[in-house]
Amino acid sequence: MNMFYDELLFRTDKRPWIGELPQTSTNDFNFAIMGDRSGFAIEGVFEEALRQVKRLNPDFVVAVGDLIEGYWQQADGAHREWDELERHIQSSGLPFFPVAGNHDYGNEVMKKVWQERKGIDYYAFRYGNVLFLALHTEEPQHALSPELELAFRETELRSKREPEQAEEVIRELLESIAEQTKDIKNKHVPNPCIGEEQFAFIEKTLHDHPDVDMTFVITHQPVWKTDSAVYERLVQALNARPFTMLAGHFHKLELTKVAGHAHIQMGRTGANKHKAGLDDFHHILWVAMKDGLPTFTAIKLEGMLALDA
């Protein structure tokens, strides 16, 4: 496979992706993007999404992170979640390429579990004449206080036990978090950190692949919404090549165009609502590459109906 990672930094045989890219002799192909499964996953939605995506038969799947609830203080809980999720992904038979979200990598325990199981925090791959940068935005970790972790676990249980009350109990948790963090400046602004080692990898990978038709930059947090220099530095590294940025985190589908480049924030693929909105629905994004250009189709899961003849 045309997979690339920092071999000096990540000396491991573990990989975050599942499956292998199929062989291709053309630059026209299709892939699917899946949004946040958590926080507070609605049971069965992500799994049904996998089944529906399988029927669509993409060449591969990309996921923008927050695949498990996470924020565990004991590794056993995190491993149980990953074991269950990976069984569903593997049974789908779909090549699956994720990035880490804050739920997947949100404290030192979660970071250790990710590195034990998946080895690599960021990577890249090339498919035909398209380059994919799967980047990491979750350093440093922002662990929950013991009180908030207890509230988080209770909210997780209640949202599953009483799904009709899920929005209310999640809102209560978010209000509690807001109260505890009210003195933190810019708390609603994404704070992605892409360090020097990762930027060195990004710049080398872009230098090694100057001939691609399109570059996809995949992160969990939407870096274009940050007030840091991360976004500007990424754009500078891309050096006017055609690119599209993909992210998640806020559970709301948005398309923004900046200087002609699409910036797509995915909504939910299984996660519960955090706030109401007309565009707040479970979906996948279907991407068709043809002649070096992508077209994007958001597919509502609620509108998909499989007919088994």
Amino acid at position 47, single letter? E
Using a 10 angstrom Cβ sphere, with 0-12 exposed, 13-18 middle and 19 or more buried, the burial of residue 139 is: middle
| Residue 182 within a domain | no
- Give the global pTM: 0.91
262: left (phi over 0), alpha (psi -120 to 50) or beta: beta
Structural domain boundaries enclosing 65: 3-145+192-303
> Could you give phi then psi for residue 103, rounded to 5 degrees?
-70, -30
pLDDT in tens, the chain (309 residues): 699 998 878 889 999 999 999 998 889 999 999 999 998 899 999 999 999 999 999 999 999 999 999 999 999 999 999 999 999 999 999 999 999 999 999 999 999 999 999 999 999 999 999 999 999 999 887 777 778 777 888 888 888 887 877 777 787 777 776 666 555 444 445 567 899 999 999 999 999 999 999 999 999 999 999 867 899 999 999 998 999 999 999 999 999 999 999 999 999 999 988 766 545 789 999 999 999 999 999 999 987 766 665
Query: Coil, helix or strand for 219?
Result: coil
Evaluate whether 277 touches 292 at the Cβ level (below 8 Å): no
259: left (phi over 0), alpha (psi -120 to 50) or beta: left
| Residue 84 within a domain | yes
| Residue 243 within a domain | yes
| Residue 158 within a domain | no
The full DSSP string for 251-279 is S--EEEEETTEEEEE--BSSBPPSS--TT
| Residue 262 within a domain | yes
| Residue 151 within a domain | no
Report how many domains make up the chain. 1
| Residue 263 within a domain | yes
- CATH number for the domain harbouring residue 11: 3.60.21.10
The sign of the dihedral angle between the CA atoms of 73, 75, 76, 77 is positive
Amino acid at position 277, single letter? G
| Residue 294 within a domain | yes
Distance CA 264, CA 24 (A): 26
